[in-house]
Amino acid sequence: MDKIIDEIRFNDVEFLAEEGKLGNKIIWRRDGSHSMDDLQIILEFEKLGFQYKIYNYKGEFEDKAIKIEFEYKGKL
């Protein structure tokens, strides 16, 4: 079952990664401004064996709304 999240903090990554390793996709919706912290979170998921796709979606701030889908593929 996919898990849709509107906010991820760096401390949440390991817990969410465990859910992802069980076969759940982690979908992070970001609506509004983005920061370097966002990039660090994406890179941490990547280090834990996740691939990601980034999509635009219709959020409140359409020009800045993205959806990041993480899927566990195993460590390389």
**4: buried, middle or exposed (CB in 10 Å: 19+, 13-18, 0-12)?**
exposed
* pTM for this entry: 0.84
- What pLDDT does 35 receive? 82
Distance, CA of 57 to chain centre: 14
Residue with tokens 């079952």: 1
Domains detected in the chain: 3-72 (3.30.110.140)
Across the 76 residues of the chain, what is the mean pLDDT of every consecutive 10-residue run? 90 95 93 83 96 84 81 84
